[in-house]
Amino acid sequence: MDGFFNEDRSYLFTAFNSTVLSATSAEQALLSVRLAPSVDYGIAGSLGVRNVVNHTALKLQSVGIITNNPIQVFVRVNAEPQTVFKNLTAWQPAPNGSIAQYFDHTKYGSFEMEGSGGDLIASFFATPDIQNNGFNNPRYVSDSFNIEIVRLLTNSILGGDFVFPDGPDVVTVSVKTFGSPEDLNNNYTATTRTRMSWTEDQG
């Protein structure tokens, strides 16, 4: 705010999965968020669809997770799978006047994070009480992780429809279990979904 060092008030925008993912011991993408490549009059779109390259900033706030078995949650910036993000119709506009987009990997296709690059910016565990309930009778647990400390996510100078530097920064939430495919007694799946919340400097 002018004259002070406090932050402007903003809407809190949220994207979430439409259905669940069956997590395994392989790290899989669950949800991705980015600034829309172009924007005008508060309406976002792919590059060239709107008049202006989107050079606002997206400030992450928190990641929420729900699961019925123990998992590890990862938050990565600019992971780049070979084909998934090229499905531009799968990038959906975030609600409530946001100028960001989200990619629901439970609906439009997930991918294994191994070999996809990107920077790991946060990780945490979500662990239901399996000691008393066991893997065969799990109970869901919900948890939230604050990621406000992460830098602002922006767009590349020239813009683009893909992952930075050929487009905006993309943040992806991914999950995996602690199971082992080689150990059948310690191999399991987890029914999981997530949400991501952020604010925007829309100017």
User: Which run of H or of E encompasses 125?
Assistant: strand 119-126
Task: Please give the pLDDT value at position 86.
Answer: 87
CA distance 113 to 116: 5
**CB burial of residue 76 (10 Å; 0-12, 13-18, 19+):** buried
The structure's pTM equals 0.88
> Tens digits of per-residue pLDDT, 117-153?
889 999 999 988 766 655 556 688 999 999 999 999 9
Calpha distance 151→154 (Å, rounded): 9
pLDDT of 7-17, one tens digit each?
A: 667 789 999 99
Q: Is pLDDT at 98 greater than 60 in this prediction? A: yes
Q: In the chain, where are the structural domains located?
A: 18-201
Whether 34 and 89 have beta carbons less than 8 Å apart is answered as no
Task: Report whether pLDDT(1) > 60.
Answer: no
